[in-house]
Amino acid sequence: MTPIEDCREWLRNSSPIAVLTGAGISAESGIPTFRSGSAELPALWSRYRPEDLATPLAFQRDPELVWRWYDWRRGLIARAQPNAGHLALAKWERGCDRFTLITQNVDGLHTAAGSSRVLEIHGSIWTLRCLACAAEWENHATPLPEIPPHCACGSMARPGVVWFGEGLPQGVWREAERAVRACRLLLVVGTSAVVYPAAGLVPMAREAGARIIEVNREETPVSSLVDRVLRGPAGEILPGLLDS
C-alpha cells in the first residue's frame, strides 16, 4: 500500500485520535508562519526575532510595539478564511467520537472552520487579559480602536497568548497531555516542532505506543520519530487523507 493508503487505513481503524497543529496549517489561508517564510509570504518573524516580540520583557519594554504587531496579525487573520485543511479536520471530528485537536496556533481558524473541541495551548489572539485585575475577554476589533487597549478597570491589557518563558494554561495543557497519552494515533500537521513543551507531545505519543503521521512541507526534528511522513501542503493532503 502507498503511505497515504496506510494512513487512511490507520485513521479509519484507530481511536482515540489526537491531532497537533502548528502555523503551517494556516499558511494556505494566507497567514505567514513563524519560521518558514516564502517569497510571497515572508515569515512573521522575518523582520523581528521571537525574543523581540513574543516575550513578557518585550511587552514591558515597549507594549505599543508588541501591540502593533498583534494588531497587524489580527487584521491579517480577520481577512483570512479557514482552508481545506482546517475544514477537513472539522468534518472529520464530526465523524469521530474520540478525537482531540490540539493547536499551537492563536488564530482561531480551527474554530472558524467548525472544529468544536479545540485545545488552544498557546492561547488566542482574540482574547485580551488585564495586567492588573486579570479580567479576560474576547475582542475581535480590527484594527483595535486604541493601542495599547485597556480594561474597564482602567489598566492596560495584554494579548491572551502564551509568550516565551511563560507557562501554558494549566488545565488546557493537562488535557492535551491526557489526550496524547491515551491516543492510538497522533496526526502532526504543519509544525516545525521546535517550540516546547508543545513539541514534546510527539515523543510522548510515541512512548504511549501511538502511531504517528506527520503532514509537513519540510523535514522537521520529529520526522525521524513518526511512522509515516506525508510531504506536502496540509490543505491538499488532509482532505484526501480524511474523507471517508
Binding string, residues 4-33; x marks residues near Zn ion by CB under 5 A: ------------------------------
By C-beta, is 54 or 76 nearer to ligand BV8? 54
Q: How many CB atoms lie within 10 A of CB 221?
A: 11
Grid cell in block for residue 9: 487505513
Binding string, residues 221-240; x marks residues near Zn ion by CB under 5 A: --------------------
Considering the rule CB under 5 A, would residue 135 count as an interface residue with Zn ion? yes
**CA–CA gap between residue 222 and residue 206 (Å, rounded):** 11
So which residues are the catalytic ones?
A: 122
Task: Name the residue whose CB lies closest to ligand BV8.
Answer: 24
Q: From Zn ion, ligand BV8, none, which one binds at residue 97 (CB under 5 to 8 Å depending on kind)?
A: none
Considering the rule CB under 6 A, would residue 57 count as an interface residue with ligand BV8? no
Grid cell in block for residue 175: 488535557
Strand partners, 157: 130
By C-beta, is 78 or 161 nearer to Zn ion? 161
Binding string, residues 99-138; x marks residues near ligand BV8 by CB under 6 A: -----xxx---------------x----------------
Q: Are 210 and 185 in contact (CB under 8 A)?
A: yes
Distance separating the N- and C-terminal Cα atoms of the chain: 18
Least distance in Å: CB of 134 to Zn ion? 7
Least distance in Å: CB of 110 to ligand BV8? 12
Strand partners, 211: 185
Q: From Zn ion, ligand BV8, none, which one binds at residue 105 (CB under 5 to 8 Å depending on kind)?
A: ligand BV8
- Distances 233 to 6, 40, 151 between C-alpha atoms, Å: 18, 15, 40
Enumerate long-range contacts of 136-143, CB under 8 Å, 24 or more apart: 136/160, 140/74, 140/78, 142/71, 142/74, 142/75, 142/78, 143/71, 143/74, 143/75
Considering the rule CB under 6 A, would residue 68 count as an interface residue with ligand BV8? no
Binding site for Zn ion (CB under 5 A): 130, 132-133, 135, 151, 153, 155
